[in-house]
Amino acid sequence: MENLDSRERMKLFYSGEKIDRIPMLSCATMYSGYRKGLSSSEFYFDVKKSYHSQKEIIEENGYDDLPCFDLPSGEMLDFGGEMIISSGERVSLPLVKKYAIESIEDAWNFQLPPMSERKFTKLNIEFLKYAQKQGQFGVSICAGSPFTMVGSMVKTDLLLRWVIKEKEAVHHLLEIAKRYLLETADLYIKEFGIERCSVSSNYPFESNGLISPKIFERFAYPSMMEIHEELRSRGLKNFGIHLCGNHSKNLEFFKDLNLPQRSFISSDEANSLKLVSETLGKYHIYGGNVSTNLLVNGSAKQVYQQSREIIRDMKYNEGGFALMPSCDLPINTKPENLDAMKKSVYDFGRY
């Protein structure tokens, strides 16, 4: 097959048809803003500048992904929390100034702010509408996870104490998190139409590095299952998940989601992508999982070698495979290491 352009490649890729090579997804959101000289305020709050910084980096380097809105942990703004946005010349990660919930009394008294005050959701919709004007029509609805949404309401160490000492309060907050996610999903469906919407979810707070499988089963698992069932009941059909952190002891729980074939599953470097695919099923699309630590601190040779090994393991997965970083591309990634990823795709990823 002759070389395809990215749009053709990804259309065939997602429909399960033959393509020329595996795709390379850069996940270069904040990285793009940094490389294009945007400040934090410009990247996070000016959707036009954010979109075009990503678009330019993608097109200049031949990556296969599309621009998307990115404000790490931005949901906390919807819950009434506060963030510190750097005033420096270049994009940097936002910091937490104040969580919406700081005590057990706050937890029991907490109420969701009205939709009109949810700044993160409003910015995301603004970005999606601008992307639509540029000919980009896909809309990703967030399914949380609900447990991770609670992690945007309350400080992590407090939440980890509460799963032991204040179990009912945590369940109470999980119900609020589910309501928040469903209200947001319904708004997106109304704004953009269900035929354009897919569902994605991330699981950083469920990782084995933070909670045990027992805690996962008691708190995260029921709400994860319920939110997916609710979204299916609305008619949504396309799903994706990202396993952020080490989930080696949780994989059997994720099997219970019964994701439709060709769901997109990406994974952190802490998990063997081959093991994930063997557990969750070879008919899904898998993405990953080049080490972000290596992309920042390693050499181009190391990145090239690791990418080659991942491609070797996953290239012929039945559902398809895309090479990508194990998480959002760090701002301080070395450009030559991204070039090494791309070179490995051209050297070893052709069909």
Helix (H, G, I), strand (E, B) or coil at 258: coil
The backbone torsions φ and ψ at residue 237, rounded to the nearest 5 degrees and listed phi first, read -125, -20
Distances (CA, A) of 147 to 12, 69, 178, 204, 213: 35, 22, 9, 9, 14
Q: End-to-end CA distance of the chain: give it in Å, rounded.
A: 8
The beta-strand segments (E) located in 177-281 are: 197-202, 239-243, 264-267
Distance CA 188, CA 183 (A): 9
Which residue do the tokens 């000016």 mark?
46
Dihedral sign computed on CA atoms, order 96, 102, 107, 113: negative
Measured at the CA of 30, the angle between CA 26 and CA 33, to 5 degrees, comes to: 105
Domains along the chain? 99-260 (3.20.20.210)
Which residue do the tokens 């603004």 mark?
126
Write out pLDDT tens, residues 163-205. 999 999 999 999 999 999 999 999 999 999 999 999 999 999 9
Residue 3 confidence (pLDDT): 86
Residue segments in the chain with a per-residue pLDDT below the cut of 50: none
Residue 2 confidence (pLDDT): 62
Residue 1 confidence (pLDDT): 57
Distance CA 300, CA 279 (A): 31
Q: How many CB atoms lie within 10 A of CB 82?
A: 12
Contacts of 101 (CB under 8 A, 6+ apart): 79, 107, 110, 153, 154, 173
